[in-house]
Amino acid sequence: MPQTIVYKDQVYDITDETEEHTTKDGRLVQLRRIRSHCARCGELFDFWLSENVLTTGRPWLSRRCDRHKAQGIKVHQHCLGSPEDQEVMFQLGR
């Protein structure tokens, strides 16, 4: 069952799509596809997030689509989780 989380007034759908990913140090993590609408243009976009990160309650959530993401990097840099968390967050196939 998809769940929904709300972070800073932005709604994120946690889909039931998962994928396994091996980190650089060989740990296997489960990724979950998250969907949301861009905070800037409203376009639907998605990204993958480690389920570990979701359950620790400190998820890094992208607020913008690919087109507008770069403009938000400065905003997000100070609130990223540990380097370990960051490693498993990536845009699939981009």
Strands 3-7 and 10-22: antiparallel
Which residue is nearest to Zn ion, using beta carbons? 38
Return the sign of the alpha-carbon dihedral for residues 2, 50, 85, 89.
negative
Taking the C-alpha atoms of residue 5 and residue 10, their distance in angstroms, rounded to an integer, is 8
The DSSP bridge partners found for residue 6 are 11
Q: Is 75 in the site for Zn ion (CB under 5 A)?
A: no
Closest separation between CB of residue 10 and Zn ion, Å?
Answer: 12
Of 35, 40, 51, 72, the one binding Zn ion (CB under 5 A) is 40
Q: Is 44 in the site for Zn ion (CB under 5 A)?
A: no
Q: Is 47 in the site for Zn ion (CB under 5 A)?
A: no
Closest separation between CB of residue 61 and Zn ion, Å?
Answer: 15
Q: Is 41 in the site for Zn ion (CB under 5 A)?
A: yes
- Burial bucket for residue 36 (CB in 10 Å: 0-12, 13-18, 19+): buried
Site for Zn ion, rule CB under 5 A: 38, 40-41, 43, 65, 67-68
